[in-house]
Structure 1
Amino acid sequence: MYAILDIETTGGKYNEEGITEIAIYRFNGHEVIDQFISLVNPERPIQQFVVGLTGINNDMLRNAPKFYEVAKRIVEITQDCVIVAHNAKFDYRILSTEFNRLGYPFERKTLCTVELSKKLIPDMPSYSLGKLVRSLGIPISDRHRANGDALATVKLFKLLLSKDTDKEIIKATVRTTPKNNMDAKLIRIIEELPSITGVYYMHDEHGDIFYIGKSKNIKKRITQHFTNDNHKSKEMQKLVHAVTFEATGNELIALLKENEEIKRNKPQFNRALKKTIFSHSLHHSFTDDGYLKFNIAKANGRDNAITTFSSYLSGKSFLERITEEYNLCQKYTSLDKSTGSCFNHSIKECEGACMGEESAEEYNKRAQQVIERYSYHNKNMLLIDRGREVDEKSALLIEEGTFKGIGYFNLNYQVNNPQIMKTLITPMEENRDAKHIIQGYLRRNNRIKIIEF
C-alpha cells in the first residue's frame, strides 16, 4: 500500500517551515482507495516568493485547521503505507518535523519518484515534476498546489510501476511488510496473549526477564516483536521462552508500571528507559512590567517545573497550543522574539499585552490558569481513569504534589473518602520520570477525571 502525497510550505530555513497545504492519496498499486486534501494554518507568515509560486496567502489560511487538528487523519491514511512523493526526502522531512513538534514519532518507509524516474526513464531533459509529466504526456493542473501535484504524482507512479519490469518497487515494498514465517514457539506465545492494555515481560528459558514493554494491545505488539527483522528483534526472538503480562486498563498506569519495572529489574534489552526520559521543562517568571511569562528550558531535575517534555520541539508545540487555547501573547510564551508587537497582534488574535494595551492583572488571570491546570505542585488529588474490567475504575493518588501509587475500585464504590481510598492504593516510587509521565498524560487526555481533596 502506498500514500502518495504532496506538501506546500511557508518556505523558510530548514526546520522552520510550516505546512500550508497537504494532499494524500492512498493507493493500492491499482487505484486510489482513499484521499485527504486540506489547507493547513502554519501559525507563521508565508514568505512572499512562496505566495507568488502557489497563490496561497496568509488570509486564506487564517481559518484553516492547524497541523495538530489534521495529524490524526494523516496518521490514519498513511498507516501501513510506503510514502511516495516527488523529492520524497523533502516532504517526509517536513512531515516528521511537524510530528516531532507534537512529540509524536512519525516513521514511514519512503519512495522518491525523482530517483525512480531517473532509473526507469533515463535521459529525460528534466526531472522536475511539471516538466517530467508534460514530457510523458501526463496531464497536470493546479501546478504548485498540493492536490494538483499529488494527482500528477499518482499518474507518474502508475507509469513507473508499469515500466518496472524487474518488479524492484514491489519487492522493496514487500520487504517492508511484516513477515509471517514465525516458528511454532513464537506462534504459541502469541496465541496465548490477549488484545488488552498492559505491561508485558519477556522471559528467557531460566525465567529471567530480559525485556519489559507496554502496549494498548499486547497481542499486536508482541506480534510486531516476533515479525520484525532488525537485529534487536531477532535476538529477542531467539531468547524468548515465555511472555507474561499484567493488565492495567489504561495507558497511564501501563506507562508508570513500565517505568518502575524497568528501573527495578534493569532488563538487558531496555537500555533506553534506564535513563531519564525527558529533557526539557516549562517554567514561568514575571517581567519587569509584571506580566507572567512562560519559557522552555533544559530540565535539571532541581527546578520546580510546571511540566516536562521529551524534547524541545514537543515543549514548543505545547506553548503554541496554550497560546491559542488561553489567548496568550506570543511575546510572553517565548514564541515571538522580535521587537515590537507579536505576530498574533498584527492579525488581531492577541489582546495587546505586548503593547501594553492589556493590563498585567487581566492577562495574568488567563496565564495563571495554565499553571493551575498543568502543575500538581502541593496538590492532593485522585486521577480516575478506565479500569481493567467494565465495572472497574483505576485511581492514581497524588499527595502534597507527590505521586504515591495506583489502585482499582468497583464502580459501585463511591470515591468520597480519601482515607479509605488510600487503603486501595499500591505504593509506587516517586521519581522524575514518573512525574513526567503523569504530566504528559494529563496534557494529552482531557477525559481523565480529577478529584481534588
Structure 2
Amino acid sequence: MYAILDIETTGGQFNEEGITEIAIYRYDGHEIVDQFISLVNPEIPIQPFVVKLTGISNAMLQSAPKFFEVAKRIIEITEGCIIVAHNTVFDYRVLRLEFKRLGYDFQAQTLDTVELAQKLIPDMPSYSLGKLSRALGIPVADRHRASGDAMATVKLFKMLLDKDVEKTIISTFIKTEVEKGIAPKLLDIVDKLPSRCGIYYVHREDGKIIYIGKSRNIKKRVNQHFTGNQTKSKKIQLEVFDVTYEETGSELIALLKESQEVKVNKPKYNRAQSKTNLQWALYQQTDKNGYINLVLDKYDRNRQEITAFNSIIEAKTTMHRLTQRYELCPKLTGLDDAKTNCQSYTVKTCDGACIGEISADVYNLRVQAFLNDYTFTSENMIILDRGRNVGERSAVLIENGIYKGYAFFDLNYQVLNSKVLHKILVPMPHNRDTTAIIRMHLRRNPKLKIVNF
C-alpha cells in the first residue's frame, strides 16, 4: 500500500515552515482506496511569493483546522504505507517536522517519483512535476495545490510502475510487508486478485519473484496454481508469500510483458520461458523458374524469417492450413517432396504451379497475399486496444517493422502518430518472440483497430 501525498507550505526559513494544505491518496498499486484533502491553519503567516504561487491566502486558513486536529487522520491513512511524493525529501521532512512539534516521531519508508522518473524515463529535459506531466500527457488540475499535484503524482507513479520491468518498486513493497510480519494465506491472496486480464507475479518472502504468468482472468489462474497437483504448482504453494499483479486490459500487452519480464527477472519456475523456444522458422526463396518457394528449416539468424514456430509439428500443421487457405502448392511450400507434380495436383486440389501449368506471376500473387498477412517487416503502425478501465485505451507501437513498446492513455489524449506516443511509451526490446507474439495476435484478432502512419 502506498500513501501518495503533496504538501503546500507557508515558505520561510528551513525547518520553520508550516503546512497550509495537504492531500493524501491511499493507493494499492491499482486504484485509490482512500483519500484525505484539507487546508491547514499553520498559525504563522504565509510568505507573499507562496500566496502568489498557490493562491492560498492567510484569510482562507483562518477557519481551517490546525495540524493537531488532522494529525490522527494523517496517521490513519498512511498506516502501513510507503510514502510516495514528487521530491519526497521536502514533503516527508515537513510532515515529520509538524509531528515533531506535537511530540510524535512520525516515520515511514519513502519513494521519490523524481528519482524513479530519472531512472525509468531518462533524458527528459525537466523532472519538475508540471513539465514532466505535460510531456507524458498527464492532466494536471489545480497546479501548485495539494490535491491537483498529488493526483498528478498518482498518475505518474502508476506510469512508473508500468515502466519498472525489473519490479524493484514492487519488491520494496513486499519487503515492507515482511517487516510488518504479515504473511497472507493462500485464500487471502486469491481473494484480493481481480478477475481481469493482466500479469501476475508470485513472490517469496524476501520479495523475489519466483514465477510470472499472464491470464485473461488473473484470479482464476492463480487459484489453479494454488489448487493444482502438478510438481510446479506444489513448489509454488510451498514458497509463495504474496502475489502482486498488473492489469493490462489488452491481452497483447499481457503477452508481450510476460515474455520480456520473464527474460529480465528470470524467475526460477519460468526457466523454460527465459529464452526463446522458437527453434523452427519459415523462409522464402525463389526457384530457377521464378516461383516463390516457402521453406521450413531450423532457425538461422543470418536469414530473414517470415514467421517462427516452437516445434516442427506446429510448423507443419500451420503450413498445411495456410497452404489450403491461400491455395498454394504443397510442393512449393515444402509439404510434398514429389519429383514431378504434387499429390494435390493428382486429386485436383492444386492447379499445377509445381509443373508450370500456371505462371509464376499468377502463383506469386497468392504467396504475396500470404506474406502481406504474416509479416509487418516494413510497417509503421499503432495497434489500439482496450485499456485497464473504461476511460483508458492501450497502444502498441511498431516502427519499420520493429516493436518499440506499449502505452496506456486517457481517452481524451489523442494518440494518432508515433511522435505523440513516444512521450508516454513503455519502451521494450524487439526480438523474435515479440515479433511472433504480435503476428499471432493480429492473425487471431483481425478486428483490432490499427492506425498506420
Class of the TM-score when normalised by the shorter of the 2 chains:
0.5 to 0.7
Q: Indicate conservation of the 8 Å contact 2:200/2:245, yes or no.
A: yes
Q: Please list the CA deviations of residues 145-198 of structure 1 after superposition, one character each: whole Å capped at 9, or x if unmatched.
A: xxxxxxxxxxxxxxxxxxxxxxxxxxxxxxxxxxxxxx9811111111111111
8 Å CA contact 2:404, 2:428 repeated in 1 = yes
Matched to 1:207, the amino acid is G
Pairwise mapping of residues 267-282 of structure 1 onto structure 2 (< 5 A)? 267-282=267-282
Equivalents in 2 of 1:403, 1:259: separation in Å? Answer: 13
Structure 2 vs 1, CA of residues 347 and 393 (structure 1 numbering), >3 Å: closer, same or farther? farther
Structure 1 position 266, deviation (Å): 1.3
Give the aligned partner of residue 225 of structure 1. Answer: 225
Contact 1:280 1:308 in 2 (8 A): yes
Q: Offset at 1:354? A: 1.6
| Kept after mapping to 1: 8 A contact 2:279/2:309 | yes
Query: Superposed, which structure 2 residues align to 1:404-419 within 5 Å?
Result: 404-419=404-419
> d(CA) in 2 for partners of 1:434 and 1:292?
26
Is residue 296–residue 315 contact of structure 1 (8 Å, CA) maintained in 2? yes
The aligned residue for residue 260 of structure 1 is 260
Does the residue aligned with 2:447 lie in a helix, a strand or coil?
Answer: coil
One-letter amino acid matched to 1:189? I
- Are 1:201 and 1:243, in contact at CA under 8 Å, matched by a contact in 2? yes
Secondary structure of 2:384's partner?
A: strand
Displacement of 1:450:
2.9
Q: Within 2, Cα distance between the matches of 1:440 and 1:402?
A: 15
Aligned pair in 2 of structure 1 residues 358, 301: CA closer, same or farther (>3 Å)?
same
Residues 416 and 451 of structure 2 are in contact (CA less than 8 Å); yes or no, is this contact kept in structure 1? no
Residue 388 of structure 2 corresponds to which residue in structure 1?
A: 388
SS of the counterpart of 1:332? coil
- Relative to the length of structure 2, the TM-score reads 0.57
Counterpart of 1:440 in structure 2 is: 440
Contact kept in structure 1, 2:199 and 2:214, CA below 8 Å: yes
2:429 aligned partner: 429
Name the residue aligned to 2:66: none
Alignment of 1:245-394 (within 5 A): 245-394=245-394
3-state SS, counterpart of residue 270 of structure 2? coil
Q: Distance in 2 between matches of 1:390 and 1:346?
A: 56
Q: Tell me which residue corresponds to 1:403.
A: 403
Structure whose CA Rg is larger: 2
Given that 2:344 and 2:350 are in contact with CA atoms closer than 8 Å, whether structure 1 keeps it comes out as yes
CA deviation after TM superposition for structure 1 residue 214, in Å = 0.9
> What letter corresponds to residue 361 of structure 2 in structure 1?
E
Deviates more, 1:241-250 or 1:401-410: 401-410
Change (3 A) 1:392 1:350: farther
Moved more, 212-221 or 368-377: 368-377
In angstroms, what is the RMSD of aligned CA positions?
1.9
CA distance in 2, matches of 1:416, 1:215: 29
1:181-226 alpha-carbon deviations (Å, 9 max, x no partner): xx98111111111111111001112222111111111111111100
User: Distance in 1 between the 2:377 and 2:202 partners?
Assistant: 36
Decide whether aligned partners of structure 1 residues 321 and 278 sit closer, same or farther in structure 2, where only a CA change above 3 A counts.
Answer: same
Range moving further from structure 2, 411-420 or 434-443: 411-420
Q: Which residue of 1 aligns with 2:19?
A: none
Give, in whole Å, the separation in 1 of the partners of 2:306 and 2:203.
38
Q: Is the Cα contact below 8 Å between 1:292 and 1:367 reproduced in 2?
A: yes
Deviation larger for 187-196 or 414-423: 414-423
Q: Distance in 2 between matches of 1:415 and 1:222?
A: 34
Deviation at 1:412, TM superposition (A): 4.8
Q: Indicate the percent of aligned positions where both proteins have the same amino acid.
A: 46
Number of residue-to-residue matches in the alignment: 271
Q: CA deviation at 1:246?
A: 0.4
Aligned to 1:200, the other structure's residue is in SS state: strand
Distance (Å, rounded) in 1 between the aligned partners of 2:272 and 2:410? 36
| C-alpha displacement of 1:414 | 4.5
Please list, as runs of the form range in 1=range in 2, the aligned pairs for 1:29-428 lying within 5 A after superposition: 185-428=185-428
- The answer as to whether partners of 2:397 and 2:418 remain within 8 angstroms in 1 is no
TM-score by length of 1: 0.57
Distance 1:438-1:356 versus aligned 2 partners, 3 A rule:
same
* CA deviation map 1:32-81 (0-9, x unaligned): xxxxxxxxxxxxxxxxxxxxxxxxxxxxxxxxxxxxxxxxxxxxxxxxxx
- Which residue number in structure 1 is paired with residue 150 of structure 2? none
Q: How far is 1:263 from its partner?
A: 1.3
Cα displacement (A) at 1:449: 2.9
Question: What displacement does 1:411 show?
Answer: 4.2
Does the CA contact (< 8 Å) of 1:284 and 1:295 recur in 2? yes
Matched residue type, 2:383: L
- Provide structure 2 residue ranges, at least 5 long, that are not aligned to the other structure: 1-182
Q: Deviation per CA, 1:237-264, whole angstroms, max 9, x where unpaired?
A: 1211110000111222111111111111
Whichever residue aligns with residue 394 of structure 2, its letter is: S
* Contact 1:215-1:221 at 8 Å conserved across structures: yes
Deviation at 1:432, TM superposition (A): 2.5
For the 8 Å contact 1:307–1:440, the answer to whether it is kept is no
Taking a change above 3 Å as real, the CA distance of residues 184 and 391 of structure 1, as seen in their structure-2 partners, is: closer
Contact 1:308/1:440 (<8 A) preserved: no
Question: Structure 1: how far apart are the matches of 2:235 and 2:272?
Answer: 17
Contact 2:203 2:241 in 1 (8 A): yes
Q: Which runs of no fewer than 5 residues in structure 1 stay unpaired?
A: 1-182
Amino acid at match of 1:420: V
Shift of the 210–184 alpha-carbon distance from structure 1 to 2, 3 Å rule, reads: closer
SS at match of 2:273: helix
